[in-house]
A and B are shown apart, each in its own frame.
Chain A
Amino acid sequence: MSVLTNNLPLFLDLFWKTLQLFAVSAVLSLVLGTILAALRVSPVPVFRGIGTGYVTVLRNTPLTLVFVFFVFAYPLLDILKIENYTAAVVALSLYTAAFVCEVVRSGINTVPVGQAEASRALGLTFVQMLGNVVLPQALRSVVPPMTSTMIALLKNTTVASGFAVAQAGNIRDSLSEQGENVLFGLLWVALGFVILVMPLTYVQQVFEKRWSVAR
């Protein structure tokens, strides 16, 4: 317990940074992933190709490698200088977007094709059809796998430790520098993550309940 109480500011500060990194990357990956899913079901073959290509590349690349690219390789291109923190956000968002895309797309596939046909027959454009008819119905089946994807993102933020972006994954380093008991320190970090994930599970339950009623 003393490991935690002696270093409470450190724990709070770094977990707060984890939360920020997660929140920004979650929003960006949800937006980008939904756009990618729209591309993958678009009637235009070029758009489908772009979506498929993106998912193939980003989903099949280890997250650490994506980080390495944005922290070390991307600066060599000399386009726009980015901080390590920004690089971490970009890496996490781009990587997670590939998974979000596939979750959203599987949700889209659960919506009967007649719903899309009725929308088209009424004169709705592709974007109107997705936004007003298909995605709202897809959301229902998307909640559980999307929660898993977001939990994975939350935990993946610790990869940033290797790239000088401070967050909860760095707590152990600081503790061992101060000669604290690392074993107990790590257990507290693990508990911290369990606590952070719990609200996500709660949000999942709330959405599942709310959307099951209107069916």
Chain B
Amino acid sequence: MTAASAPPMIRVAGVDKFFGPLHVLKNVQLEVPKGQVVVVLGPSGSGKSTLCRTINRLEPIDSGVIEVDGQPLPAEGKELARLRADVGMVFQSFNLFAHKTIVENVMLAPTKVRKTPAAEARKTAMELLERVGIANQAEKYPAQLSGGQQQRAAIARALAMKPKVMLFDEPTSALDPEMVQEVLDVMTGLAKDGMTMLVVTHEMGFARKAADRVIFMSDGEVVEDSTPEEFFSAPKSNRAKDFLGKILTH
């Protein structure tokens, strides 16, 4: 199979989703090829977080197709759990397991889902915590860490499953400003290492620096799909111009 005919890591085609009468995703099309970093931008309520959450079926869709690595999302059950194990996710609110230490957080899924022996899982966990720069916090509980440290632990937890693709749902939106950079640095490192990533964010700097492509969403639609240079210097749509005008002037 040549690179061109390989299936994209994520394929979203004709996806619609409603929350009651609210049409939150409107005929969304999106492809993320292997190794690309795609950043999703857009105003609040534009459906970008919902889109991110549909990709591992935390939100079910009403119509359309979502495929991960060429495989359509199965219905809730064992098969979906297997697929989710290959898709890492990082949440806005970290969602670290409050009753487990940081290293236990990272070890849990490998030991339970992959049946990795505990000693090996711990070794891998410590390496990952080293990589995100919080190995010295391994034995603490999540509540004892700063937000930035918690989010880096959450990234390590997702990486412990050796995912094929990582989803980031506004990973820095709940952080104090001085902690945003340490999380973005970890993400930039991942991007450089060739991880396939879909990142919902408001961090324009990250989009410019680390993204291969920028998706702009508004009112549940994908309005633009272009390179960061194109998007930031010459946005095509009025909605994107309006959005950039609001965030870049101050």
Contacts and interface: CB of A to CB of B under 8 A. Distances in A.
B243 interface: no
A123 B91 CA distance: 15
A159 interface: no
B97 A133 contact: yes
Interface in A123-169: 123-125, 128, 132-133, 136-137
Contacts of A117: 58, 91, 95
A123 B161 contact: yes
B78 A121 contact: no
Interface in B95-116: 95-99, 108-109, 112-113
A118 B91 contact: yes
Interface residues of A, number: 20
Q: How large is the interface on B (under 10, 10 to 19, 20 to 34, 35 or more residues)?
A: 20 to 34
Interface in B179-224: none
B113 A122 contact: yes
A121 B98 contact: no
A120 B84 contact: yes
Contacts of A128: 112-113
Contacts of A123: 81-86, 109, 113, 161
Contacts of B242: none
Contacts of A115: 95, 97-98
A121 B81 contact: no
B89 to A, nearest CB: 4
B98 A132 contact: no
Contacts of A112: 95
B36 interface: no
B6 interface: no
A179 interface: no
Contacts, number: 71
Contacts of B97: 115, 118-119, 133, 137
A136 B85 contact: no
A4 to B, nearest CB: 46
B158 A122 contact: yes
A187 interface: no
A121 B87 CA distance: 7
A125 B84 contact: no
Nearest to A211: B99
Contacts of A43: 76
Contacts of A120: 58, 81, 84
A132 B97 CA distance: 10
Nearest to B75: A43
Contacts of B108: 122, 124, 132-133
Contacts of B49: none
B27 interface: no
A115 B82 CA distance: 19
Interface string A201-215: 000000000000011
Contacts of A215: 98-99, 143
A174 B83 CA distance: 66
Interface in B28-79: 56, 58, 76, 78
List the 6 closest pairs (A to B, CB-CB), nearest first.
A123-B85, A118-B95, A114-B95, A122-B109, A121-B89, A123-B113
Interface of A: 43, 112, 114-115, 117-125, 128, 132-133, 136-137, 214-215
Given A120-B58, A123-B84, A137-B98, 19 more contacts: A114-B91, A114-B93, A115-B95, A115-B97, A115-B98, A118-B89, A118-B91, A118-B96, A118-B157, A120-B84, A121-B87, A122-B109, A123-B113, A123-B161, A124-B81, A125-B78, A133-B99, A133-B108, A137-B99
27 contacts: A112-B95, A114-B93, A114-B95, A117-B58, A117-B91, A118-B91, A118-B97, A119-B97, A120-B58, A120-B81, A121-B56, A121-B84, A121-B91, A121-B158, A122-B85, A122-B161, A123-B82, A123-B84, A123-B109, A123-B113, A123-B161, A128-B112, A132-B108, A132-B112, A137-B97, A137-B99, A214-B141
